[in-house]
Amino acid sequence: MKLHKAGALARSRSLLLVALLAAPFALSFAQGGPTPAPANAYAYIGYPNNGETMPAGKPFRVWFGLRFMGVAPRGVKFPNTGHHHLLVDTDLPPLDHEIPSDRNHLHYGAGETEAMIELAPGKHTLQLLMGDDRHIPHNPPIYSKKITIYVK
């Protein structure tokens, strides 16, 4: 009887430890806002490519890719659509809140699928994040892989 209780206590301590260790990771996977997105939709940066060097001192084109979902301007609420946000040198914002609008979170609310940007010389990261008609990420959130580019 004592052995059975000791084994049950050890198992419950192990489960508690696993739950405590997993908690920070569970919090980092926000579900996104209230607007649904197709489960198979994905965004990608078509140009520039990861690791590419861009010329300093002049704007270059960033091409936004999106599959299995449509593009619609800000304020247009239509199923399975959204608009692009380009994240420059930053991580994803909270996925269940409005996407910030600043020099690191560029909004393309007119439905643009490409942009001309100019960056200072150095190493930079770019990532796309789709927002709904109110600039809130979808559920599930639709975002690209983060790429690194160099400006010289």
d(CA 72, CA 31): 22
The letter for the amino acid at 33 is: G
Q: 């940007």: which residue's tokens?
A: 117
Instruction: Find residue 88's DSSP bridge partners.
Output: 126
- In this prediction, residue 7 carries a pLDDT of 52
pTM for this model (two decimals): 0.81
Contacts of residue 119, Cβ cutoff 8 Å, sequence gap at least 6: 54, 88, 149, 151
Tell which phi-psi region holds residue 147, choosing left (phi > 0), alpha (psi between -120 and 50) or beta.
beta
Q: Does domain 42-151 have CATH number 2.60.40.10?
A: yes
> Which tens digits make up the pLDDT trace of 8-43?
545 545 444 444 444 444 344 568 999 999 999 999
Estimate to the nearest angstrom the gap between the alpha carbon of 129 and the chain centroid.
Answer: 4
> Which tens digits make up the pLDDT trace of 73-132?
999 999 999 999 999 999 999 999 999 999 999 999 999 999 999 999 999 999 999 999
